[in-house]
Structure 1
C-alpha cells in the first residue's frame, strides 16, 4: 500500500482563520441579528476549540440571554453555522485568501511518487472543498480523500478523525505523514500515532509543539528569496530552505525506524 500524506485544512492549505472564518462568523451574526462580534483577540482564544459549531455553542453558553426563548439550541447553532459556511465559501471562491506557499508543489510531488492524499479537518466538508480547490490543481483535487466536519463524534484534539482516515486509506500509521498548524491538530495526529510536520499559522505561532517531527513557518518554495524558518528539527531533517517530498519521506522513514 502506498504511503499517505494527510493535510489539515485551515491554517495549512491556507491561513483562513483570522480573515476568513472569523469574518464569516461575524457576517452571519450580523445578518441574523445576533449581538455577537468576534474580534481578533477573542477569536484567537476560540480557535483552540475544534469545530465551528462547537465555537458557536461555547459562545452562546457563555451568554445565556442570547438563547432565551429558543427551544432547539442545536438547530439554532446548526442554522448559524450553515449561514456562516455559505458566506465563507463565497469568500474563498472569490479568492479572498490565497493558498499557503508550497501546497500545490508538494501535492504534485506526492502524486508523482504515488502517495495517497487526504485532508482531515474539523471544518464543514463544503468549506474544506472550497479551500482545497483553490490550493491545488483540478487533477490534484480529484485525488484527495476528504474527512471533514461531523464524520466523527469527537473533534480535534481527539485522534478520531485521523484514526478514521488511516483505516479508510488502508495504511499503517507508520506509513503516514501529517501536516498540521496547531497544537490541537498535532495532539490529534500524535494521538493516532502519526508523524507530524507543523507549519505554524497566524494564531498558532506561539503554541508549543512537543512531539512534532519538524516545526517550520511554511512549506516554502525552492529558490525563494527568503528560506523557511525552522523552529524545531528534533529528527535532524535539515530542510534546504523549503519542505519537499524528500523531507516528508525522511520524516516517514524516521517514524518507521522508531517503530
Structure 2
C-alpha cells in the first residue's frame, strides 16, 4: 500500500472503551453536587469534548456553577477510573492487519493516553506517534491536534483516514481536511449517534472493528 497514507485513531471510544466509564463518573459527580438534576441526556452528547470544557458547558446549560477545585476533582475522578478501561473489542486484531503508519490523536492528556496504551499493549502500534490536546492551542472540535499529527507524520491531510466516535472529534478531523469514519460500536453510543457523525461530515459509520481492515483497503485503493 501507499506509504504516504496514514490511519489516525482517537483514543477514548475508539481504542479504549472508556467513554461509558468516564461519562458515568461525570454524571455521578455532578448529580452529587447538584441534587435533583438528571444529567445523562445533557452529558452523553458532549462526550468527546475536553473534560474541562464539557463540565463548564453542562454547568452553563443547567444554570449552575463549578469552582476550579470542583473541575479538578471531577476530572481526576474520571481519569482514575477511565485509565483502567479495557480495549475496544477487536481493535488489536484490526490494527495488526492494517499496514499503514498509525497515530493516535486524542482530546485527553499525553500522560493519560500513553498510560492506557502501554497498559493495554496498544502502544506497539503507535510508538511515539501520540498527539493530544495538551500539545495544541485548541482542543477538538478545533482541527489543531489533527493538523499537528499530519504535519509531524509528513502526510497530507487528504491522505489521512481518521477513526472517531465523537461529534467533536469528527468535526475536528473534517475541518482538518481528512476522511472520517465514525465508529459506533462502544457501549456509550446511543442509536441516533451514527446520524450525528454523518451530519458533521463523517464519510461513513461502522459498528465492528473487524470491519476496519477491509474499509481501510477500500479507502487506500481509492487513492492509488
Q: TM-score, normalised by structure 1?
A: 0.69
Match of 2:161 in 1: 177
Gaps of 5+ in 2: none
Q: 1:131 aligns with which of 94, 99, 116?
A: 116
Match of 2:181 in 1: 197
Residues of 1 paired with 2:78 and 2:34: CA distance? Answer: 19
Match of 1:87 in 2: 77
Which structure 2 residues correspond to residues 1-259 of structure 1 after superposition, within 5 A?
A: 2-18=4-20, 20-26=21-27, 34-35=33-34, 39-47=39-47, 50-62=49-61, 66=65, 76=68, 79-94=69-84, 97-110=85-98, 113=99, 115-137=100-122, 139-140=124-125, 143-200=127-184, 201=186, 202-203=188-189, 205-207=191-193, 208=195, 209-210=198-199, 211-220=201-210, 242-244=211-213, 246-254=214-222, 256=223
Q: Is the 8 A contact 1:182 1:204 kept in 2?
A: no
Residues of 1 paired with 2:147 and 2:70: CA distance? Answer: 29
Gaps of 5+ in 1: 68-72, 221-241
- Higher fraction of helix: 2
Q: Is the 8 A contact 2:19 2:82 kept in 1?
A: no
Structure 2 vs 1, CA of residues 86 and 157 (structure 1 numbering), >3 Å: closer, same or farther? Answer: closer
Quote the offset at 1:6 in angstroms. Answer: 0.6
Residues of 2 paired with 1:39 and 1:160: CA distance? Answer: 30
Where 1:215 maps in the other structure, the secondary structure is strand
Match of 1:224 in 2: none
Structure 2 vs 1, CA of residues 204 and 144 (structure 1 numbering), >3 Å: closer, same or farther? Answer: farther
Greater relative CO, 1 or 2 (CA 8 Å, sep 6+): 2
Where 2:97 maps in the other structure, the secondary structure is helix
Give the structure with higher Rg (CA): 1
Query: How many residues are matched?
Result: 215
Q: TM-score, normalised by structure 2?
A: 0.78
Where 2:135 maps in the other structure, the secondary structure is coil
